[in-house]
Structure 1
Protein backbone atom coordinates (compact mmCIF):
# COMPACT_ATOMS: atom_id res chain seq x y z
CA UNK A 1 0.00 0.00 0.00
CA UNK A 2 1.26 3.46 -0.86
CA UNK A 3 -0.36 6.24 1.14
CA UNK A 4 0.64 9.88 0.67
CA UNK A 5 2.96 11.09 3.42
CA UNK A 6 3.30 14.66 4.60
CA UNK A 7 5.31 16.32 7.36
CA UNK A 8 4.37 18.48 10.31
CA UNK A 9 7.51 20.49 11.00
CA UNK A 10 7.27 21.59 14.63
CA UNK A 11 10.11 24.10 14.10
CA UNK A 12 11.67 23.01 17.37
CA UNK A 13 14.34 25.19 18.93
CA UNK A 14 16.75 22.72 20.47
CA UNK A 15 18.43 23.50 23.79
CA UNK A 16 21.38 25.81 23.11
CA UNK A 17 20.10 26.61 19.61
CA UNK A 18 18.42 29.71 18.11
CA UNK A 19 15.32 30.32 15.97
CA UNK A 20 17.61 31.23 13.07
CA UNK A 21 19.23 27.79 13.26
CA UNK A 22 15.79 26.21 13.49
CA UNK A 23 14.67 27.97 10.31
CA UNK A 24 17.81 26.79 8.51
CA UNK A 25 16.95 23.24 9.55
CA UNK A 26 13.38 23.68 8.29
CA UNK A 27 14.70 24.79 4.90
CA UNK A 28 17.05 21.80 4.77
CA UNK A 29 14.22 19.41 5.64
CA UNK A 30 11.94 20.87 2.97
CA UNK A 31 14.65 20.63 0.33
CA UNK A 32 15.24 17.00 1.19
CA UNK A 33 11.53 16.23 1.52
CA UNK A 34 10.67 17.33 -2.00
CA UNK A 35 13.34 15.01 -3.43
CA UNK A 36 12.20 12.20 -1.12
CA UNK A 37 8.60 12.43 -2.35
CA UNK A 38 6.66 13.87 0.61
CA UNK A 39 3.42 15.58 -0.44
CA UNK A 40 3.45 18.66 1.82
CA UNK A 41 4.95 20.27 4.90
CA UNK A 42 2.85 22.21 7.37
CA UNK A 43 3.83 24.55 10.21
CA UNK A 44 1.64 25.22 13.24
CA UNK A 45 0.87 28.51 14.95
CA UNK A 46 2.04 28.39 18.58
CA UNK A 47 2.74 31.35 20.85
CA UNK A 48 4.87 31.90 23.96
CA UNK A 49 6.54 28.50 23.67
CA UNK A 50 10.30 28.84 23.84
CA UNK A 51 10.93 25.57 22.03
CA UNK A 52 8.67 26.21 19.01
CA UNK A 53 9.55 28.89 16.45
CA UNK A 54 6.59 28.77 14.04
CA UNK A 55 4.50 31.53 15.64
CA UNK A 56 4.61 33.75 12.51
CA UNK A 57 3.41 30.87 10.37
CA UNK A 58 2.88 32.67 7.05
CA UNK A 59 6.35 34.27 7.26
CA UNK A 60 7.97 30.87 7.79
CA UNK A 61 6.02 29.39 4.88
CA UNK A 62 7.23 32.24 2.65
CA UNK A 63 10.84 31.68 3.67
CA UNK A 64 10.78 27.94 3.03
CA UNK A 65 8.85 28.34 -0.23
CA UNK A 66 11.52 30.72 -1.53
CA UNK A 67 14.14 28.01 -0.99
CA UNK A 68 12.19 25.11 -2.55
CA UNK A 69 10.50 24.54 -5.89
CA UNK A 70 7.83 21.81 -5.80
CA UNK A 71 6.67 20.64 -2.40
CA UNK A 72 3.39 22.03 -1.07
CA UNK A 73 3.71 24.20 2.04
CA UNK A 74 1.20 25.64 4.42
CA UNK A 75 -0.26 26.14 7.83
CA UNK A 76 -1.20 23.23 9.98
CA UNK A 77 -2.59 25.43 11.12
CA UNK A 78 -3.45 29.06 11.52
CA UNK A 79 -5.52 29.55 14.65
CA UNK A 80 -8.18 31.65 12.97
CA UNK A 81 -9.75 33.18 16.12
CA UNK A 82 -6.41 34.96 16.68
CA UNK A 83 -6.81 36.86 13.40
CA UNK A 84 -9.28 38.56 11.12
CA UNK A 85 -10.28 36.42 8.12
CA UNK A 86 -9.34 39.29 5.79
CA UNK A 87 -5.78 39.45 7.13
CA UNK A 88 -5.26 35.70 6.66
CA UNK A 89 -6.77 35.86 3.16
CA UNK A 90 -4.30 38.60 2.26
CA UNK A 91 -1.34 36.73 3.72
CA UNK A 92 -2.09 33.43 2.04
CA UNK A 93 -3.26 35.14 -1.13
CA UNK A 94 0.19 36.76 -1.23
CA UNK A 95 1.86 33.36 -0.71
CA UNK A 96 -0.21 31.75 -3.47
CA UNK A 97 0.56 34.63 -5.83
CA UNK A 98 4.27 34.19 -5.19
CA UNK A 99 4.24 30.37 -5.27
CA UNK A 100 1.28 29.26 -7.42
CA UNK A 101 -0.18 25.85 -6.73
CA UNK A 102 1.98 25.16 -3.68
CA UNK A 103 0.14 26.74 -0.73
CA UNK A 104 -2.26 25.12 1.76
CA UNK A 105 -4.23 26.77 4.55
CA UNK A 106 -5.18 24.62 7.52
CA UNK A 107 -7.43 26.29 10.07
CA UNK A 108 -7.94 25.63 13.77
CA UNK A 109 -10.02 27.31 16.44
CA UNK A 110 -7.76 26.78 19.48
CA UNK A 111 -5.68 29.71 20.79
CA UNK A 112 -2.34 27.98 20.25
CA UNK A 113 -1.34 29.34 23.64
CA UNK A 114 -2.40 29.75 27.26
CA UNK A 115 -4.99 32.24 28.51
CA UNK A 116 -2.46 34.92 29.44
CA UNK A 117 -0.88 34.72 26.01
CA UNK A 118 -4.29 34.80 24.39
CA UNK A 119 -4.93 38.13 26.13
CA UNK A 120 -1.56 39.40 24.90
CA UNK A 121 -2.69 38.49 21.38
CA UNK A 122 -5.79 40.67 21.97
CA UNK A 123 -7.87 37.56 21.35
CA UNK A 124 -11.57 37.89 22.16
CA UNK A 125 -12.47 35.08 24.60
CA UNK A 126 -15.64 34.48 22.57
CA UNK A 127 -13.93 34.45 19.17
CA UNK A 128 -13.88 30.65 18.89
CA UNK A 129 -17.68 30.70 18.82
CA UNK A 130 -17.65 32.39 15.42
CA UNK A 131 -15.11 30.00 13.90
CA UNK A 132 -17.53 28.44 11.34
CA UNK A 133 -18.64 31.87 10.15
CA UNK A 134 -15.03 33.09 10.01
CA UNK A 135 -14.04 30.09 7.87
CA UNK A 136 -16.80 30.92 5.41
CA UNK A 137 -15.81 34.59 5.35
CA UNK A 138 -12.20 33.62 4.67
CA UNK A 139 -13.25 31.20 1.95
CA UNK A 140 -15.28 33.95 0.32
CA UNK A 141 -12.27 36.25 0.15
CA UNK A 142 -10.08 33.55 -1.41
CA UNK A 143 -12.63 32.44 -4.02
CA UNK A 144 -13.67 35.99 -4.94
CA UNK A 145 -17.21 35.43 -3.63
CA UNK A 146 -16.93 37.83 -0.71
CA UNK A 147 -19.49 37.62 2.07
CA UNK A 148 -18.71 41.18 3.16
CA UNK A 149 -20.14 43.62 0.59
CA UNK A 150 -17.53 46.03 -0.70
CA UNK A 151 -14.56 44.17 0.82
CA UNK A 152 -12.11 42.11 -1.25
CA UNK A 153 -8.77 40.50 -0.38
CA UNK A 154 -5.92 41.86 -2.49
CA UNK A 155 -3.91 39.70 -2.95
CA UNK A 156 -6.21 36.76 -2.28
CA UNK A 157 -9.27 37.24 -4.44
CA UNK A 158 -9.59 34.33 -6.87
CA UNK A 159 -6.49 32.49 -5.64
CA UNK A 160 -8.63 29.60 -4.34
CA UNK A 161 -6.07 28.60 -1.72
CA UNK A 162 -7.35 25.21 -0.51
CA UNK A 163 -8.70 25.17 3.03
CA UNK A 164 -8.35 22.32 5.52
CA UNK A 165 -10.14 22.07 8.84
CA UNK A 166 -7.89 20.97 11.70
CA UNK A 167 -9.33 19.41 14.79
CA UNK A 168 -8.91 17.15 17.78
CA UNK A 169 -12.61 16.68 18.55
CA UNK A 170 -15.93 15.80 16.94
CA UNK A 171 -16.66 19.50 16.38
CA UNK A 172 -13.97 19.80 13.72
CA UNK A 173 -15.09 16.59 12.02
CA UNK A 174 -18.67 17.79 11.73
CA UNK A 175 -17.65 21.25 10.52
CA UNK A 176 -15.32 19.84 7.85
CA UNK A 177 -18.06 17.46 6.72
CA UNK A 178 -20.69 20.19 6.59
CA UNK A 179 -18.46 22.55 4.62
CA UNK A 180 -17.16 19.81 2.32
CA UNK A 181 -13.53 20.42 3.22
CA UNK A 182 -10.58 18.10 3.88
CA UNK A 183 -10.14 17.28 7.57
CA UNK A 184 -6.85 16.85 9.43
CA UNK A 185 -7.11 15.20 12.85
CA UNK A 186 -4.40 15.94 15.43
CA UNK A 187 -4.04 12.33 16.53
CA UNK A 188 -0.30 12.85 17.06
CA UNK A 189 -1.11 14.53 20.39
CA UNK A 190 -4.89 14.11 20.90
CA UNK A 191 -5.71 10.48 20.05
CA UNK A 192 -8.89 9.95 22.08
CA UNK A 193 -11.57 10.93 19.54
CA UNK A 194 -9.82 9.86 16.34
CA UNK A 195 -11.97 6.86 15.42
CA UNK A 196 -15.27 8.59 16.16
CA UNK A 197 -14.22 11.78 14.39
CA UNK A 198 -13.13 9.85 11.28
CA UNK A 199 -16.45 7.97 11.16
CA UNK A 200 -18.53 11.12 11.60
CA UNK A 201 -16.53 13.01 8.98
CA UNK A 202 -17.04 10.33 6.34
CA UNK A 203 -20.68 9.71 7.20
CA UNK A 204 -21.73 13.38 7.19
CA UNK A 205 -19.53 14.71 4.37
CA UNK A 206 -21.25 16.94 1.81
CA UNK A 207 -19.46 17.50 -1.51
CA UNK A 208 -18.37 21.06 -2.23
CA UNK A 209 -16.62 23.04 -4.97
CA UNK A 210 -13.28 22.31 -3.31
CA UNK A 211 -13.80 18.61 -2.58
CA UNK A 212 -16.12 16.06 -4.16
CA UNK A 213 -15.32 13.41 -1.56
CA UNK A 214 -13.89 13.31 1.97
CA UNK A 215 -10.15 13.52 2.47
CA UNK A 216 -8.96 12.53 5.94
CA UNK A 217 -5.43 13.35 7.10
CA UNK A 218 -4.34 11.71 10.34
CA UNK A 219 -1.40 12.86 12.44
CA UNK A 220 1.08 10.33 13.81
CA UNK A 221 4.43 10.50 15.58
CA UNK A 222 7.38 8.82 13.90
CA UNK A 223 10.90 8.11 15.01
CA UNK A 224 12.78 5.88 12.60
CA UNK A 225 16.40 4.92 13.24
CA UNK A 226 18.98 2.41 12.11
CA UNK A 227 18.30 0.23 15.16
CA UNK A 228 15.31 -0.35 17.42
CA UNK A 229 17.45 0.61 20.41
CA UNK A 230 18.34 4.01 18.91
CA UNK A 231 14.72 4.70 17.95
CA UNK A 232 13.32 3.90 21.39
CA UNK A 233 16.05 5.95 23.05
CA UNK A 234 15.11 8.95 20.87
CA UNK A 235 11.44 8.43 21.68
CA UNK A 236 12.07 8.32 25.42
CA UNK A 237 14.15 11.50 25.24
CA UNK A 238 11.36 13.16 23.28
CA UNK A 239 8.85 12.21 25.99
CA UNK A 240 11.09 13.75 28.66
CA UNK A 241 11.25 16.99 26.67
CA UNK A 242 7.48 16.93 26.29
CA UNK A 243 7.14 16.93 30.09
CA UNK A 244 8.84 20.32 30.25
CA UNK A 245 7.06 21.63 27.15
CA UNK A 246 3.56 20.82 28.38
CA UNK A 247 3.90 20.91 32.17
CA UNK A 248 6.84 23.20 32.82
CA UNK A 249 4.96 26.53 32.69
CA UNK A 250 8.20 28.40 32.29
CA UNK A 251 10.38 26.20 34.49
CA UNK A 252 12.82 23.53 33.37
CA UNK A 253 12.75 20.16 35.08
CA UNK A 254 15.86 18.14 35.77
CA UNK A 255 16.12 14.79 34.03
CA UNK A 256 15.30 13.00 37.30
CA UNK A 257 12.23 15.19 37.83
CA UNK A 258 11.03 14.55 34.28
CA UNK A 259 11.50 10.81 34.75
CA UNK A 260 9.46 10.90 37.96
CA UNK A 261 6.68 12.94 36.35
CA UNK A 262 6.53 10.60 33.37
CA UNK A 263 6.16 7.63 35.73
CA UNK A 264 3.33 9.30 37.71
CA UNK A 265 -0.41 9.02 36.89
CA UNK A 266 -0.26 12.48 35.33
CA UNK A 267 2.71 11.38 33.30
CA UNK A 268 0.80 8.38 32.04
CA UNK A 269 -1.83 10.74 30.67
CA UNK A 270 0.97 12.62 28.98
CA UNK A 271 2.30 9.38 27.52
CA UNK A 272 -1.15 8.54 26.18
CA UNK A 273 -1.04 11.72 24.11
CA UNK A 274 1.65 9.94 22.07
CA UNK A 275 -0.47 6.78 21.71
CA UNK A 276 -0.15 6.84 17.94
CA UNK A 277 3.61 6.63 17.51
CA UNK A 278 5.63 4.56 15.06
CA UNK A 279 9.02 3.88 16.63
CA UNK A 280 11.72 1.54 15.36
CA UNK A 281 13.62 0.53 12.26
CA UNK A 282 12.20 1.62 8.87
CA UNK A 283 10.38 -1.65 8.20
CA UNK A 284 8.76 -1.61 11.65
CA UNK A 285 7.68 2.02 11.18
CA UNK A 286 6.32 1.26 7.71
CA UNK A 287 4.25 -1.68 8.97
CA UNK A 288 2.87 0.41 11.84
CA UNK A 289 1.86 3.29 9.56
CA UNK A 290 0.20 1.01 7.04
CA UNK A 291 -1.87 -0.65 9.78
CA UNK A 292 -2.70 2.71 11.34
CA UNK A 293 -3.87 4.21 8.03
CA UNK A 294 -6.02 1.16 7.28
CA UNK A 295 -7.63 1.12 10.72
CA UNK A 296 -8.49 4.82 10.57
CA UNK A 297 -9.36 4.94 6.88
CA UNK A 298 -6.88 7.78 6.39
CA UNK A 299 -6.34 9.14 2.89
CA UNK A 300 -3.05 10.73 3.93
CA UNK A 301 -0.74 10.69 6.94
CA UNK A 302 1.04 13.72 8.33
CA UNK A 303 4.00 12.69 10.43
CA UNK A 304 5.85 14.53 13.15
CA UNK A 305 9.11 13.58 14.78
CA UNK A 306 10.66 15.00 17.92
CA UNK A 307 14.10 13.53 17.47
CA UNK A 308 16.60 15.51 19.49
CA UNK A 309 19.24 16.60 16.97
CA UNK A 310 18.82 18.02 13.48
CA UNK A 311 20.82 15.09 12.12
CA UNK A 312 18.60 12.40 13.69
CA UNK A 313 15.49 14.44 12.79
CA UNK A 314 16.44 14.51 9.11
CA UNK A 315 17.63 10.91 9.23
CA UNK A 316 14.26 9.77 10.59
CA UNK A 317 12.32 11.39 7.75
CA UNK A 318 14.83 10.06 5.23
CA UNK A 319 14.55 6.49 6.49
CA UNK A 320 10.75 6.73 6.43
CA UNK A 321 10.82 8.00 2.85
CA UNK A 322 13.11 5.16 1.80
CA UNK A 323 10.69 2.64 3.30
CA UNK A 324 7.41 4.10 2.04
CA UNK A 325 7.83 6.63 -0.77
CA UNK A 326 8.53 5.34 -4.29
CA UNK A 327 10.00 8.69 -5.42
CA UNK A 328 12.56 8.86 -2.62
CA UNK A 329 16.18 9.34 -3.59
Structure 2
Protein backbone atom coordinates (compact mmCIF):
# COMPACT_ATOMS: atom_id res chain seq x y z
CA UNK A 1 0.00 0.00 0.00
CA UNK A 2 1.42 3.40 -1.03
CA UNK A 3 0.31 6.92 -0.29
CA UNK A 4 0.86 7.96 -3.94
CA UNK A 5 0.18 6.02 -7.13
CA UNK A 6 1.45 7.02 -10.58
CA UNK A 7 -0.41 5.36 -13.45
CA UNK A 8 1.89 5.26 -16.47
CA UNK A 9 5.58 4.35 -16.59
CA UNK A 10 6.72 6.38 -19.57
CA UNK A 11 9.54 8.88 -19.21
CA UNK A 12 7.51 11.63 -17.50
CA UNK A 13 5.43 9.29 -15.34
CA UNK A 14 8.55 7.48 -14.12
CA UNK A 15 10.32 10.79 -13.53
CA UNK A 16 7.45 12.28 -11.55
CA UNK A 17 7.24 9.09 -9.47
CA UNK A 18 10.96 9.52 -8.74
CA UNK A 19 10.43 13.18 -7.80
CA UNK A 20 7.79 12.25 -5.25
CA UNK A 21 9.84 9.34 -3.89
CA UNK A 22 12.84 11.66 -3.55
CA UNK A 23 10.56 13.97 -1.58
CA UNK A 24 10.22 11.24 1.05
CA UNK A 25 6.97 9.63 -0.12
CA UNK A 26 5.94 6.03 -0.58
CA UNK A 27 5.17 5.72 -4.30
CA UNK A 28 3.82 2.93 -6.47
CA UNK A 29 4.34 3.16 -10.24
CA UNK A 30 1.96 1.23 -12.48
CA UNK A 31 3.40 -0.02 -15.77
CA UNK A 32 1.26 -1.42 -18.56
CA UNK A 33 3.79 -4.18 -19.26
CA UNK A 34 4.85 -6.59 -16.57
CA UNK A 35 8.38 -6.69 -17.95
CA UNK A 36 8.79 -2.96 -17.20
CA UNK A 37 7.51 -3.20 -13.62
CA UNK A 38 9.66 -6.29 -12.99
CA UNK A 39 12.77 -4.52 -14.29
CA UNK A 40 12.09 -1.54 -12.04
CA UNK A 41 11.63 -3.82 -9.02
CA UNK A 42 14.70 -5.90 -9.79
CA UNK A 43 17.16 -3.39 -11.22
CA UNK A 44 15.85 -0.02 -9.94
CA UNK A 45 15.80 1.29 -13.51
CA UNK A 46 13.32 1.93 -16.31
CA UNK A 47 15.88 1.25 -19.02
CA UNK A 48 13.46 1.76 -21.91
CA UNK A 49 12.60 5.36 -21.03
CA UNK A 50 15.25 6.55 -18.56
CA UNK A 51 18.39 4.48 -19.14
CA UNK A 52 21.07 4.98 -16.52
CA UNK A 53 18.78 6.68 -13.99
CA UNK A 54 18.59 4.84 -10.67
CA UNK A 55 15.14 4.87 -9.08
CA UNK A 56 14.70 5.20 -5.30
CA UNK A 57 14.12 2.13 -3.14
CA UNK A 58 10.88 3.70 -1.86
CA UNK A 59 9.45 3.58 -5.39
CA UNK A 60 7.67 0.29 -6.00
CA UNK A 61 6.23 -0.91 -9.32
CA UNK A 62 3.47 -3.24 -10.45
CA UNK A 63 1.48 -4.00 -13.59
CA UNK A 64 -1.71 -4.69 -11.58
CA UNK A 65 -3.79 -1.50 -11.32
CA UNK A 66 -5.78 -2.88 -8.37
CA UNK A 67 -2.60 -3.39 -6.38
CA UNK A 68 -1.22 -0.03 -7.48
CA UNK A 69 -4.30 1.91 -6.37
CA UNK A 70 -4.87 0.18 -3.06
CA UNK A 71 -4.99 2.84 -0.34
CA UNK A 72 -3.57 5.73 -2.40
CA UNK A 73 -4.59 9.25 -1.35
CA UNK A 74 -3.05 10.80 -4.49
CA UNK A 75 -3.37 9.30 -7.98
CA UNK A 76 -1.19 10.71 -10.75
CA UNK A 77 -2.38 10.08 -14.32
CA UNK A 78 0.65 9.83 -16.60
CA UNK A 79 -0.67 8.44 -19.88
CA UNK A 80 -0.82 10.27 -23.27
CA UNK A 81 -3.65 12.76 -23.63
CA UNK A 82 -5.49 10.93 -26.41
CA UNK A 83 -5.55 7.66 -24.44
CA UNK A 84 -6.50 9.14 -21.05
CA UNK A 85 -10.23 8.57 -21.49
CA UNK A 86 -9.85 4.91 -22.42
CA UNK A 87 -7.43 4.16 -19.61
CA UNK A 88 -9.29 6.10 -16.96
CA UNK A 89 -12.55 4.36 -17.80
CA UNK A 90 -10.84 1.05 -16.94
CA UNK A 91 -9.42 2.43 -13.68
CA UNK A 92 -12.36 4.49 -12.50
CA UNK A 93 -13.99 1.84 -10.29
CA UNK A 94 -10.64 1.19 -8.58
CA UNK A 95 -9.93 4.80 -7.61
CA UNK A 96 -9.89 5.30 -3.82
CA UNK A 97 -12.68 7.60 -2.59
CA UNK A 98 -11.60 11.19 -1.97
CA UNK A 99 -8.20 10.70 -3.66
CA UNK A 100 -6.72 13.74 -5.36
CA UNK A 101 -6.39 13.10 -9.11
CA UNK A 102 -3.38 14.69 -10.80
CA UNK A 103 -3.03 14.93 -14.59
CA UNK A 104 0.40 15.07 -16.20
CA UNK A 105 -0.94 14.86 -19.78
CA UNK A 106 -0.71 17.94 -22.02
CA UNK A 107 -3.26 18.03 -24.81
CA UNK A 108 -6.82 18.68 -25.93
CA UNK A 109 -8.93 15.60 -26.61
CA UNK A 110 -9.88 14.92 -30.20
CA UNK A 111 -13.61 14.98 -30.84
CA UNK A 112 -14.76 16.36 -27.49
CA UNK A 113 -12.21 19.25 -27.47
CA UNK A 114 -11.94 18.82 -23.71
CA UNK A 115 -8.92 19.63 -21.59
CA UNK A 116 -7.47 16.74 -19.60
CA UNK A 117 -8.98 17.84 -16.29
CA UNK A 118 -12.37 17.96 -18.01
CA UNK A 119 -11.85 14.41 -19.27
CA UNK A 120 -11.03 13.28 -15.71
CA UNK A 121 -14.22 14.87 -14.36
CA UNK A 122 -16.24 13.48 -17.25
CA UNK A 123 -15.13 9.88 -16.64
CA UNK A 124 -14.95 9.79 -12.84
CA UNK A 125 -17.70 12.22 -11.89
CA UNK A 126 -15.48 13.78 -9.21
CA UNK A 127 -15.74 17.44 -8.25
CA UNK A 128 -13.45 19.75 -10.25
CA UNK A 129 -11.73 20.81 -7.01
CA UNK A 130 -10.29 17.29 -6.65
CA UNK A 131 -8.43 17.46 -9.96
CA UNK A 132 -4.99 19.05 -10.30
CA UNK A 133 -2.61 19.40 -13.23
CA UNK A 134 1.18 19.69 -13.39
CA UNK A 135 2.90 21.78 -16.04
CA UNK A 136 5.99 23.85 -16.69
CA UNK A 137 9.41 23.06 -18.15
CA UNK A 138 9.09 19.28 -17.72
CA UNK A 139 11.79 17.69 -19.88
CA UNK A 140 11.78 14.33 -18.14
CA UNK A 141 15.39 13.22 -18.52
CA UNK A 142 16.83 16.44 -17.11
CA UNK A 143 14.57 16.23 -14.06
CA UNK A 144 15.33 12.53 -13.61
CA UNK A 145 19.01 13.47 -13.62
CA UNK A 146 18.17 15.88 -10.79
CA UNK A 147 18.96 19.04 -12.70
CA UNK A 148 17.28 21.97 -10.88
CA UNK A 149 13.89 22.91 -12.25
CA UNK A 150 10.65 24.62 -11.26
CA UNK A 151 7.13 23.59 -12.18
CA UNK A 152 3.50 24.51 -11.56
CA UNK A 153 0.70 22.67 -9.78
CA UNK A 154 -2.70 24.05 -10.74
CA UNK A 155 -5.89 23.23 -8.85
CA UNK A 156 -9.09 25.17 -8.24
CA UNK A 157 -8.78 24.18 -4.59
CA UNK A 158 -5.76 26.18 -3.40
CA UNK A 159 -5.30 24.09 -0.26
CA UNK A 160 -5.19 20.91 -2.30
CA UNK A 161 -2.56 22.45 -4.60
CA UNK A 162 -0.47 23.37 -1.56
CA UNK A 163 -0.77 19.82 -0.20
CA UNK A 164 0.48 18.46 -3.54
CA UNK A 165 3.26 21.03 -3.53
CA UNK A 166 4.49 19.62 -0.22
CA UNK A 167 4.41 16.08 -1.62
CA UNK A 168 6.83 16.79 -4.47
CA UNK A 169 9.21 19.49 -3.21
CA UNK A 170 12.81 18.33 -2.94
CA UNK A 171 16.37 19.48 -3.48
CA UNK A 172 16.07 19.67 -7.30
CA UNK A 173 12.33 20.11 -7.96
CA UNK A 174 10.56 23.32 -6.92
CA UNK A 175 6.80 23.46 -7.60
CA UNK A 176 4.71 26.64 -7.45
CA UNK A 177 0.92 26.71 -7.09
CA UNK A 178 -1.80 28.48 -9.06
CA UNK A 179 -5.58 28.09 -9.28
CA UNK A 180 -5.78 28.75 -13.05
CA UNK A 181 -6.30 25.21 -14.32
CA UNK A 182 -7.52 26.42 -17.72
CA UNK A 183 -4.43 28.53 -18.41
CA UNK A 184 -2.10 25.81 -17.19
CA UNK A 185 -3.65 23.21 -19.48
CA UNK A 186 -3.94 25.44 -22.55
CA UNK A 187 -0.31 26.48 -22.18
CA UNK A 188 0.78 22.86 -21.86
CA UNK A 189 -1.23 21.71 -24.86
CA UNK A 190 -0.37 24.55 -27.24
CA UNK A 191 3.37 24.54 -26.53
CA UNK A 192 3.60 21.08 -28.13
CA UNK A 193 2.19 22.48 -31.36
CA UNK A 194 4.51 25.50 -31.34
CA UNK A 195 7.45 23.16 -30.65
CA UNK A 196 6.56 21.23 -33.80
CA UNK A 197 6.82 24.46 -35.78
CA UNK A 198 10.18 25.28 -34.18
CA UNK A 199 11.42 21.81 -35.02
CA UNK A 200 10.35 22.25 -38.63
CA UNK A 201 12.20 25.57 -38.76
CA UNK A 202 15.33 23.94 -37.33
CA UNK A 203 15.09 21.09 -39.83
CA UNK A 204 14.83 23.64 -42.63
CA UNK A 205 18.04 25.29 -41.44
CA UNK A 206 16.55 28.49 -40.01
CA UNK A 207 18.28 30.20 -37.10
CA UNK A 208 17.62 32.01 -33.83
CA UNK A 209 15.57 34.86 -35.27
CA UNK A 210 13.05 32.45 -36.76
CA UNK A 211 12.81 30.41 -33.55
CA UNK A 212 12.38 33.52 -31.42
CA UNK A 213 9.63 34.70 -33.76
CA UNK A 214 7.77 31.39 -33.59
CA UNK A 215 8.10 31.16 -29.80
CA UNK A 216 6.90 34.72 -29.24
CA UNK A 217 4.04 34.65 -31.73
CA UNK A 218 3.18 31.15 -30.58
CA UNK A 219 2.84 32.45 -27.05
CA UNK A 220 0.59 35.22 -28.35
CA UNK A 221 -1.82 32.83 -30.04
CA UNK A 222 -1.79 30.51 -27.03
CA UNK A 223 -2.69 33.43 -24.76
CA UNK A 224 -5.51 34.48 -27.12
CA UNK A 225 -7.06 31.03 -26.91
CA UNK A 226 -6.60 30.92 -23.15
CA UNK A 227 -8.28 34.30 -22.72
CA UNK A 228 -11.25 33.16 -24.82
CA UNK A 229 -11.65 30.15 -22.52
CA UNK A 230 -11.42 32.19 -19.31
CA UNK A 231 -7.76 31.75 -18.34
CA UNK A 232 -5.75 34.30 -16.38
CA UNK A 233 -3.49 36.11 -18.90
CA UNK A 234 -0.66 36.21 -16.34
CA UNK A 235 -0.42 32.43 -16.41
CA UNK A 236 1.11 32.59 -19.89
CA UNK A 237 4.03 34.72 -18.71
CA UNK A 238 4.89 32.12 -16.06
CA UNK A 239 6.26 28.58 -15.89
CA UNK A 240 3.18 26.93 -17.40
CA UNK A 241 3.26 29.36 -20.33
CA UNK A 242 6.55 30.90 -21.36
CA UNK A 243 8.69 28.53 -19.28
CA UNK A 244 7.23 25.37 -20.76
CA UNK A 245 7.20 26.87 -24.24
CA UNK A 246 10.88 27.86 -24.22
CA UNK A 247 12.03 24.47 -22.92
CA UNK A 248 9.96 22.46 -25.37
CA UNK A 249 10.80 24.61 -28.37
CA UNK A 250 14.54 24.78 -27.63
CA UNK A 251 15.66 21.37 -26.41
CA UNK A 252 16.58 18.34 -28.53
CA UNK A 253 15.07 16.29 -25.69
CA UNK A 254 11.64 17.59 -26.73
CA UNK A 255 9.73 14.92 -28.65
CA UNK A 256 7.66 17.51 -30.50
CA UNK A 257 10.65 19.61 -31.53
CA UNK A 258 12.48 16.47 -32.68
CA UNK A 259 9.43 15.27 -34.61
CA UNK A 260 9.10 18.67 -36.29
CA UNK A 261 12.78 18.70 -37.21
CA UNK A 262 12.35 15.40 -39.03
CA UNK A 263 9.46 16.86 -41.01
CA UNK A 264 11.55 19.93 -41.81
CA UNK A 265 14.30 17.71 -43.16
CA UNK A 266 11.87 16.09 -45.57
CA UNK A 267 10.58 13.02 -43.74
CA UNK A 268 6.91 12.14 -43.93
CA UNK A 269 4.73 12.02 -40.83
CA UNK A 270 4.79 8.21 -41.01
CA UNK A 271 8.60 8.17 -41.21
CA UNK A 272 8.91 10.56 -38.26
CA UNK A 273 6.50 8.44 -36.22
CA UNK A 274 8.50 5.29 -37.00
CA UNK A 275 11.71 7.03 -35.92
CA UNK A 276 10.08 8.05 -32.61
CA UNK A 277 10.02 4.36 -31.57
CA UNK A 278 6.86 4.55 -29.51
CA UNK A 279 7.53 7.97 -27.94
CA UNK A 280 4.44 10.16 -28.35
CA UNK A 281 4.70 13.65 -29.87
CA UNK A 282 1.43 14.95 -28.42
CA UNK A 283 1.26 17.97 -30.70
CA UNK A 284 0.76 15.87 -33.85
CA UNK A 285 -2.76 14.98 -32.77
CA UNK A 286 -3.47 17.93 -30.49
CA UNK A 287 -2.85 20.45 -33.28
CA UNK A 288 -6.14 19.31 -34.83
CA UNK A 289 -8.20 19.57 -31.64
CA UNK A 290 -6.60 22.90 -30.66
CA UNK A 291 -7.27 24.27 -34.15
CA UNK A 292 -10.92 23.20 -33.92
CA UNK A 293 -11.24 24.64 -30.42
CA UNK A 294 -9.84 27.96 -31.66
CA UNK A 295 -12.23 28.01 -34.60
CA UNK A 296 -15.16 27.34 -32.27
CA UNK A 297 -14.23 30.39 -30.19
CA UNK A 298 -13.28 32.64 -33.10
CA UNK A 299 -9.58 32.76 -32.16
CA UNK A 300 -6.93 33.22 -34.85
CA UNK A 301 -4.01 30.75 -34.46
CA UNK A 302 -1.94 30.88 -37.67
CA UNK A 303 1.02 28.78 -36.45
CA UNK A 304 -1.31 26.06 -35.21
CA UNK A 305 -3.13 26.19 -38.55
CA UNK A 306 0.10 25.68 -40.50
CA UNK A 307 1.26 22.84 -38.23
CA UNK A 308 -2.08 21.09 -38.69
CA UNK A 309 -1.79 21.41 -42.47
CA UNK A 310 1.73 19.94 -42.45
CA UNK A 311 0.83 17.02 -40.16
CA UNK A 312 -2.55 16.16 -41.66
CA UNK A 313 -3.05 17.78 -45.08
CA UNK A 314 0.30 17.14 -46.75
CA UNK A 315 1.41 20.80 -46.67
CA UNK A 316 5.13 21.18 -47.39
CA UNK A 317 7.07 22.59 -44.39
CA UNK A 318 9.21 24.55 -46.87
CA UNK A 319 6.17 26.72 -47.56
CA UNK A 320 5.65 27.44 -43.84
CA UNK A 321 7.72 30.63 -43.68
CA UNK A 322 6.07 32.19 -46.72
CA UNK A 323 2.63 31.30 -45.39
CA UNK A 324 3.26 33.01 -42.04
CA UNK A 325 5.36 35.97 -43.20
CA UNK A 326 2.98 36.70 -46.06
CA UNK A 327 -0.03 37.26 -43.81
CA UNK A 328 -1.62 40.72 -43.72
CA UNK A 329 0.43 43.15 -41.63
CA UNK A 330 -1.06 44.52 -38.38
CA UNK A 331 -0.04 45.99 -35.00
CA UNK A 332 1.68 43.60 -32.57
CA UNK A 333 -1.06 44.12 -29.97
TM-score band w.r.t. shorter chain: under 0.3
**TM-score w.r.t. structure 2 length?**
0.27
Higher relative CO (Cα under 8 Å, sequence separation at least 6) belongs to: 1
**TM-score w.r.t. structure 1 length?**
0.27
Greater helix share, 1 or 2? 2
